[in-house]
Structure 1
Amino acid sequence: MSFVIRKVCIVLILALLGTGVSWAEEEADIKIRYGEDKTVYEYRVNGQLVEIKVVPKIGPAYYLVPADGGEFERSDTSSVVVPSWKILEW
């Protein structure tokens, strides 16, 4: 019985590792720019700017997301989705 469980665990781990390779190509590149009154995070995927996070010294953080016409619109929530899974918990 334990032999079968080990085999299943190994197969699942290998399957998860195989899917992780494709994520590496689509990882966001983040540039951080520090200013006197704010910090700006630029998120790029495949070289294209997908979101800007602005963290002012005073006040809440906000996001600038691409809108029609090549401009940006302000948003209170992020549009960048980061894949995350809980594989094991103690």
Structure 2
Amino acid sequence: MKRTLLATLLLLVLPFGAVAEEPAPLPAPPELPPQVESGEVLEPEVTIIESDKGTVQEYRINGRLYMVKITPVAGPPYYLLDNDGDGTLDVRQEAHPGKIAIPQWVLFSW
């Protein structure tokens, strides 16, 4: 009985002895890199082309065409979007409420 009690007390005291040791000092943090200044234009470049059939607005960022808005003389305007970035413009389906257009922003590019 005494051995069991002694072993239990010893097991309870050992973790506190390990905590009492001082941890190794942490290394100094590295220097921060200089702030990156981007020459990238945040607003899209819009080219408006008017003709007798209607108006075409081309939206580009960094010279890359990502959306076209077509406004015919007769009828509602519609959009052509590059949804997946492959360079192919797809028709925006606003008539189908079941399909949700998820915003897709480019956070990083190389």
TM-score, length basis structure 1: 0.53
State the Cα deviation string for residues 27-79 of structure 1 (Å, max 9, x = none).
Answer: 10000001111100000011111100000000000000115553211115697
Name which of 78, 88, 95 aligns with 1:71. 88
Aligned match of 1:39 in 44, 50, 55?
Answer: 55
Considering only CA atoms, is the larger Rg found in Structure 1 or Structure 2? 2
Counterpart CA distance in 2 for 1:46 and 1:30 is 12
The match for 1:29 is 45
Write the letter of the residue equivalent to 1:75. Answer: R
Q: Aligned equivalents of 1:53 and 1:29: distance in 2?
A: 13
Report the TM-score when normalising by structure 2: 0.44
1:50 to 47, 66, 78: 66
Ranges in structure 2 where 5+ consecutive residues have no aligned partner = 1-37, 95-100, 106-110
RMSD: 3.0
1:73-88 correspondence to structure 2 within 5 Å? 73-76=90-93
> Amino acid of the residue matched to residue 91 of structure 2?
R
Q: Calculate percent identity across the aligned residue pairs.
A: 34
Q: Post-superposition, which runs of at least 4 consecutive aligned residues in structure 1 deviate over 4 A?
A: 76-81
